[in-house]
Amino acid sequence: MDGHALQTLLRRFGAEECSQEPLYIALCAVAADDDRALALLAEAPPEQRKANLLLAALHERVLAGAAPELAAYYPSAGGGRQPDAGLAAALRACLDREWPALVQHLRHGATQTNEIGRCAVIWPALGAAAQAAGARHLALLDFGCSAGLNLGVDRYRLRWRTDDGAWHERGGASVAVESRWLGAAPPPAEAGWRLALRHGLDPAPVDVTDPARLRWLQACLWPHDARRRERLAGAAAQLADLPVTLTQAEDCIAAIEPWLRGLPAGVQPVLLTSWVLYYLNADDLARLRATVDRLALSHGLAWICGDLPALSARAAPPPMPVLPAGEAPSSLTLWTLRHAEAGRAAERPLAWSHPHGRWVSWL
C-alpha cells in the first residue's frame, strides 16, 4: 500500500468505525497527516495492516507509562484532555521516543481484542448448534482464541434487555455481559446442553498471567470504555478456574482435524470464529472454508462464524435490522451456523450483532 492508500485507510477507519471514541477519530486524522505514522503502519504485514493495530500499539505504550504526552488524552491512563491542536505533537513525541517498541508491535502484533461481550450472541449460537445436531455435550474450539476468554461463555452472567425494557438473564457469575435483544424472537432460555471440552487455537495465544500480555489485550480496547476494561480484567482472573487448553499453532487451519480426531466419543465438535476471517488472506479463507465443509461431512463439525457479512455468509445475507438509536451501521457482524445436513454442508444465518455484542438481533 502506498502512502495515499494508508491515509485513506486511517481516515476511513476514524470516520466509520470510531463513532464511540472521539480520541480515535482525532488520532486517525492526525496520523493520516504524519509521514512517520504512515511509515509505522506500513511495517505491518499485509493481513494485519489495520488502523486498529496502529492504535493498539500507541495505546500499549501509553498504558506502559512510556508516552506521557499522549497519556494526557487517554481516559484509560487517567487523562482527561480533549483532542486539540497539541495531539499531533504528542503523537510525534511518542513516535520518536518509542519507535523500536512500536515497530515490534506492528511487525509481530495482532489486535487480539478477545471481546467477551460477543458471548451475548455466542451463547445462543451454541444452543442453535446443539439443537441442529441433537447434541447435549459440546466440544468447543475457539479458532484465533487470543487468551481464550470466550471459552468461558457459559460461566459469565449474561443479561439481555428486550424492547419492552425487561431483563432476561442466565448465570450468576460476577463477570456480567449486558446486551440489547432486538426484534420479535424470544431471548435465550436456559441451556439444554453443556460445554464438555474447551480448546483454543492461536498463532500467539495470550497468557493473561503475564502483565505485558494482559496489557496488550487492554490496549486493544477503546480508551474511554471503562466497563470493557473492568470486564476484561474480571474475565482474565476467572480464566484460571476454567478447564481450558490453549494451543499455539502457526497453521491453525491444519490444526483443526487433529483436534477433531482427539475428541472422545459422544461430544459434538463446534468450531468458533469471531472476527477472525477479516484477518485471513483470500487463499487461507478458501482453505478454511473447504476444510470445514470436508470435516462437517466426515466428522460432523459445526461452525459458528461471526464476522463481516461478506465473509461470514456465502449466500446473500439476510436483511439488516433496525439499529438502536445512536448505533452506526459500520462493522455490523453477521453470525452464521454451518453444519452437515442431508449429506451436504448447509449454512443458516443466526443473528446480526454489534461487533462487541452491545446488541443482538436474532433471526
Render 194-260 in DSSP notation, one character per residue: EEEEEEEEESS---TTSHHHHHHHHHTS-TT-HHHHHHHHHHHHHHTTS-EEEEE-S-HHHHHHHHH
| Res. 219 pLDDT band, cuts 50 70 90 | very high
Rounded to whole angstroms, the Cα distance separating 191 from 200 reads: 22
CB–CB of 121/360 below 8 Å? yes
What percentage of the chain has pLDDT greater than the value 70? 99
| Res. 115 pLDDT band, cuts 50 70 90 | confident
Q: Is 331 left (phi over 0), alpha (psi -120 to 50) or beta?
A: left
- Measured in whole angstroms, the distance separating CA 172 from the mean position of its chain's CA atoms is 24
158's grid cell: 449474561
Model pTM score: 0.86
What is the structure's pLDDT at 10? 97
Q: Does residue 326 carry a pLDDT above 80?
A: no
| Res. 17 pLDDT band, cuts 50 70 90 | confident
Altogether, the residues listed in the chain come to a count of 363
Give me the residue spans of the domains in the chain: 3-108, 116-362
What is the structure's pLDDT at 131? 95
Closest listed residue to residue 93, CA positions, set 76, 79, 73: 73
Closest listed residue to residue 95, CA positions, set 26, 40, 14: 40
pLDDT tens-place string over residues 225-284: 888 889 999 999 988 888 899 999 999 999 999 999 999 999 999 999 999 998 899 999
| Res. 48 pLDDT band, cuts 50 70 90 | confident
pLDDT tens-place string over residues 140-187: 999 999 999 999 999 999 999 999 999 999 887 789 999 999 988 999
Average pLDDT over residues 316-320: 91
Q: Does residue 114 carry a pLDDT above 90?
A: no
Rounded to whole angstroms, the Cα distance separating 54 from 36 reads: 12
Rounded to whole angstroms, the Cα distance separating 48 from 58 reads: 15
Residue 157 dihedral angles phi and psi, to the nearest 5°: -85, 110
Closest listed residue to residue 23, CA positions, set 95, 103, 79, 105: 79
Q: Does residue 193 carry a pLDDT above 90?
A: yes
What percentage of the chain has pLDDT greater than the value 90? 80
